[in-house]
Amino acid sequence: MGRLVILGGGESGVGTALLGKEQGYDVFVSDKGVIKEKYKQVLIHNEIEWEDEKHSEDKILNADIVMKSPGIPDKVPLVKQIHDKGILVVSEIEFASKFTSATIVGITGSNGKTTTASLTHHILKQELNVGLAGNIGDSFAKQVLEENFENYVLEISSFQLDDIVDFKPHIGVITNITPDHLDRYNYQFERYIASKFRITMNQTKDDYLIYDADDTVIVNHLKNNPVQSTLLPFSLTKKIGNGAYLDDNNIKITINNNQIIMPTTKLTLQGKHNMKNAMAASTVSHLLRIRKQTIRESLGNFQGVEHRLEHVLKINKVQYINDSKATNVNATYYALECADTPTVWIVGGEDKGNDYEELFSFVNEKVKAIICLGVDNEKLMKTFGGMVDVIVETQFMSEAVKIAYKITEAGDSVLLSPACASFDLFESYEDRGRQFKNAVRNL
């Protein structure tokens, strides 16, 4: 089959290595950082050659195909060299999709991907044989190798879409597009938008694109760059012929005259954004002929996603909410929009070129104090200093939670919704969320 070199020895890298070996490739895994012990053991056990804390060019530039981890930007010199040699660079979803004939539902967007993917999987698994992969759970490649799923729900980032060639989901979903990760796209929003739309690149009229018709960015892009796919929009504001919309307190979904009606009061996840996530997931399920009753029941018993507006504990009548997954401004917008009590807001981290302006009205109206939790909080202090009576900074989660505890009164909420990446102080947004939950439990 040829030589497969994998850059990055994490979940997707090791999964691809296993699938590649099974398919007869000569596989080499290279990671500039340290490969986690559990992944090292898998590679050793499967007799796959690997290295970490370095990239040996002589073992990489002789590849026939390179699978690179989504975290590695194209502007890295090694990746440039690989491209210059004309070696094909692909993402895990591109590589793995070659070895399965399963029906693929691909979900991308700036926010709501994980919730929509988890909810879609939750509904589909009631009646179908279906895996959940991509940015979530076990690696897609590993599941293609080990499981016999006939369907997959994949949560897909723009970075993974940047490295597809033939990848084609039968059903594509774009939840929304707001400025995020602009540091990877030369701060050009257009490039980031085009990257998300690569999900439709290989689709034909027999495939579907489900998208938010209230999102002007998506609507304008579709106008100027028509796609081949059959369109199924969803909206909270307009009436939709084919697709989903809100009619009073009911979600109505129509596909080729087949309609399903669901009362929004039955949704376990509240908030406008979750109504949209429910519309997207239900449209997918309706397309794949899941029974209407199953869809309704599943929407009514779905538990939500860890680190996404997760209610941790109530202490002295103060609710602590973990929204560590809010790694951009738009995600925090949803969190503050949902807030219905005076809020102490913990914010900050690695800024990706954030513009906080859309949060101003919520901050003025709902936020009583701000705790900046980051290595560099200057921008936050400058932006919000004049808006709240109390604004403090810290670099320790335990301290942030203690300060919040001191300044809250009965009936308040404490919201961790950072609007930033976590890598300045934490390993990941999960690590940040867990530290928050531990600190709250230790109060």
> What's the CA gap between 226 and 209, in Å, rounded?
12
243 is in an annotated binding site: no
Round to whole Å and give the CA distance between 41 and 148. Answer: 24
Is 85 marked as a binding-site residue? Answer: no
114 known member of a binding site = yes
Which of 267, 77, 68 minimizes the C-alpha distance to 162? Answer: 68
Check the annotation: does 264 bind a ligand: no
**Exposed/middle/buried for residue 379 (C-beta within 10 Å: 0-12, 13-18, 19+):** middle
For residue 414 the two structure tokens come to 């404490």
Distance of alpha carbon 69 from alpha carbon 64, whole angstroms = 17
Q: Cα separation of 125 and 134, whole Å?
A: 17
- Annotated binding residue at 110? yes
- Please provide the size of the chain in residues: 443
Contact present, 106 and 156 (Cβ < 8 Å): yes
C-alpha–C-alpha distance, residues 362 and 183, integer Å: 26
CB of 366 closer than 8 Å to CB of 415: no
- Amino acid (1-letter code) at residue 318: V
Q: Which string of DSSP letters, residue by residue, matches 227-263? A: -SSEEEEEESSS--SSEEEEETTEEEEEETTEEEEEE
3-state secondary structure of 183: helix
Least Cα distance to 215 among 235, 195, 200 occurs for 235
CB-CB neighbours of 141 under 10 Å: 29
In the numeric block, which tokens belong to residue 317? 């009548």
Q: What are the distances in angstroms from CA 95 to CA 141, 208, 248, 330?
A: 8, 22, 45, 31
Residues 435 and 430: their CA atoms lie apart, in Å, by 9
Is 237 annotated as belonging to a binding site? no
Output the six-digit token pair for 82: 């690989």
Q: How many Å apart are CA 40 and CA 20, to the nearest integer?
A: 16
109 is in an annotated binding site: yes
Annotated binding site: 109-115
Annotated binding site for ATP: 109-115
